[in-house]
Each structure stands twice: as structure tokens, then as C-alpha cells.
Amino acid sequence: MNLPNKLTILRVLMIPFFVFFMLVDFGYPGRIAALVLFCAASFTDFLDGFIARKYHLVTNFGKFMDPLADKLLVCSALICFVGKGELAAWIVIIIMAREFIISGFRLVASDNGVVIAANMWGKLKTVSQMIMIILIILDLEALCVLKNIFTYLALALTVISLEEYIRQNIRVLKEGEV
């Protein structure tokens, strides 16, 4: 197993610890611990992709697991926010629905021997969601406007990236055309 794939697995392993610090009330120190874990996990997302591309270590495992690890990390954070009353459920439903739809596309494509890698819109969506999550974890009044901007930006990029994935990969749903 190469280094980028190990970093992806590390990201998945960080998620339960992140959720623990988000949900157990340790006050401000708990939020900081959650923030550090989330930032570290998010950094592994950047790092594994960078290393995989630079050193030609892109694998089908990485193409499948990297986006899945991102979904697990982001969705875990969003569910924590809904549970704590820090984010509207309808926003989380839209974001998670997109993730299920894209995962379904990837599953159908995989059955047809096709791997659907992340595209630019998906990457922008992920970055905006991660910034939104960091701002929500910080929970600073001074950043309230910025948090709202990134929440709606993340929501818009979620919908745009869904439309792009469907448009670019509709062939995977048409039997015999893959």
C-alpha cells in the first residue's frame, strides 16, 4: 500500500476521534481538539492527492477511497452540527443527498469497469465544505458573516458539482454504453 493510500486510511481513522470531541462537552478545549483533528484530516486529503499525482501513485483504491474518506469526514461533521443545533438539517440533507447520488454513480460505473475520479467542481465543493466546517467549529461571532457565506457557497457548489457529475457521467446509467 502506497503513502497516499495510507494517508487516506489515516483520515478515516481520525473521524471517530473528531466526532468524540465534537459531541462530548469538553467546552472550548474540546472544540479546539475537534478543530485540530478536522484540520489534520483535511490536510491529509490535500497531501495524499498531491503525493499521488506528483509521484504517479494514483491507484483505483485511492480514486475510490479518497472521495469516500472525504464524504465520511464531512458528513460526520455535518451530522454533529445538526445534533448540536449549529446547522440547519435541510442544508445537511442536500449535501448528503449529493454524496449518496455520486456514490451510486461510482458504484454503477465500477460495476461496468469504469472509475469516476473527482473533478474540479467536486474538489471546489470539498474545499468550501471544509472551510465552512472549520468556521462552524470555531464558532466565533466575528466570523459569523464569513461562516454564512461559506455555508451557502458550499451548498451552491454541492448542487453545481452534482449537476456536473451527472452531465459528465450519465453514460454509466445507460446500459451497454460504457
CA-to-CA dists, residue 100 to 4, 53, 68, 96, angstroms = 24, 26, 10, 6
Q: All domains of the chain, ordered by start, with CATH?
A: 3-173 (1.20.120.1760)
Of all residues in the chain, what percent carry a pLDDT higher than 70? 98
Pick the range with the lowest mean pLDDT from 72-76, 104-108, 134-138. Answer: 104-108
For cell 475520479, the residue is 117
Helix (H/G/I), strand (E/B), else coil: 25: coil
- Give the burial class of 61: count Cβ atoms within 10 A of its Cβ; 0-12 exposed, 13-18 middle, 19 or more buried: middle
pLDDT digits (tens, 9 = 90+) for 65-83: 988 898 899 999 999 999 9
pLDDT digits (tens, 9 = 90+) for 2-43: 999 999 999 999 999 999 999 999 999 999 999 999 999 999
- Residue 178 confidence (pLDDT): 46
